[in-house]
Amino acid sequence: MTLSNAQPVIKANLGALAGLKVVDLSRILGGPYCGQILGDHGAEVIKVEPPQGDDTRAWGPPYQNGVASYFRGLNRNKIGITLDFSTAAGREMLMGLLEGADVLIENFKTGTMERWGMGYEQLSQRFAALVYCRVSGFGADGPLGGLAGYDAALQAQTGLMSVNGEVGGEPLRVGLPIIDMVTGLNAALGIMLALQERSRSGRGQFVESSLYDSGLSLLHPHAPTWFEGHKLPQLTGNAHPNIYPYDAFKTCSVPLFLAVGNDRQFQLLCKHLNAPVLATDERYATAGGRSVNRVPLRASLEALFASLEGNTLAQNLMAIGVPCAPVLNVQQALEHPHTAHREMVVKIGDSYTGLGSPIKLSRTPATYRRPPPD
């Protein structure tokens, strides 16, 4: 067994999950993201890696001290341990870690933990109160059961790519691992539900969060549209399939994204643009009419926006209640004053900068106590 990164606590652990012990055997993204959520809110998370380490340690550049930023973005507030489960000694050491543990997270290929004698049915005999969370690709059974799952492939298989892309173009992968991250969120939510139930029954249970299920769960509003009308959604680029103007528009500077969802917002937009003719045009008087007649409406709006500065226009429209935003790049978003105000960029010492927790609690906020294990 190898321990790493046993730094002193930098900030007092006053989190909502203080006292909770989590053993995180997961690698890559979904499982580690789940473990980091629990760690941010006070749980003691022990990250157990194989001797060769989590694969994402090598997913760079960039690197810091040989560790990729990809890994560092998912594994703070964890104590690092290396165990080799192919050995009896490694498996027995895990049994020691599970003494007094509340939660185990793993995302091994289905059947691997069972072959090692450490599946849920086996562990629950010894640790009746343990909440055992598995992050998987497709679940254990069914037509695709037991197969490995990867975010981009699941974006393709669950229909997400089919609704993401420019009009007349090809389906596109969403530009971030959205299914992996939602699977991690669902895993954390499932763990909390199981812990809540355990407070009544005293018993743990098996929790599973699969990429396949999580991908399908994101198909709103496209799934209900299909259930009701059996009409396949088409690629619409930035435009919303049901609402307009809900799209990106060019200005004389940065693009502007409008998210006008009702008649009042549309009237406010027209008033600000000094375009009463649009507000009174019967084609645009209702949400349904604006959606059906989006092509001429877009042309009229683009002509009005052409001479306006995007950031100023967005600020003025938001101030009067018209939902919109300038289209920013990653640097601009991270350096925005409101990002700092919301404490969404955090530091641990001088060596770690990361995204803050989006979950805000008034008395027991998230804390950032340990950088990712080296």
Angle at 370 between CA 209 and CA 137, to 5 degrees: 15
Which of left, alpha, beta for 314 (phi over 0: left; psi -120 to 50: alpha)? alpha
Angle at 319 between CA 314 and CA 320, to 5 degrees: 105
E runs forming strands in the chain: 2-4, 21-24, 44-49, 63-64, 67-68, 78-82, 103-106, 131-136, 206-210, 246-249, 256-259, 324-326, 345-348, 352-355
Catalytic residue among 180, 247, 263, 350, which?
180
Kindly report the backbone phi and psi dihedral angles of residue 342, in degrees, each rounded to the nearest multiple of 5, phi listed first.
-85, 5
CA 341 to chain CA mean position, Å: 21
Report the first-to-last Cα separation within the chain, whole angstroms: 15
Bridge partners of 131, per DSSP, are 103
Task: Answer whether 196's CB lies under 8 Å from 121's CB.
Answer: no
Query: Cβ distance 134 to 184 under 8 Å?
Result: no
- Sorted by sequence, the CB contacts under 8 Å of residue 349 that are 6+ apart come out as 10, 371
* CB-CB neighbours of 297 under 10 Å: 21
350 is catalytic: no
Say what angle helices 178-201 and 30-40 make with each other, to 10 degrees: 50
Contact 179, 215 (CB under 8 A): yes
Specify the amino acid at residue 367: T
Element holding 196 (H helix, E strand): helix 178-201
Alpha-carbon gap, residue 48 to 41, rounded angstroms:
19
Q: Which residues belong to the active site?
A: 180
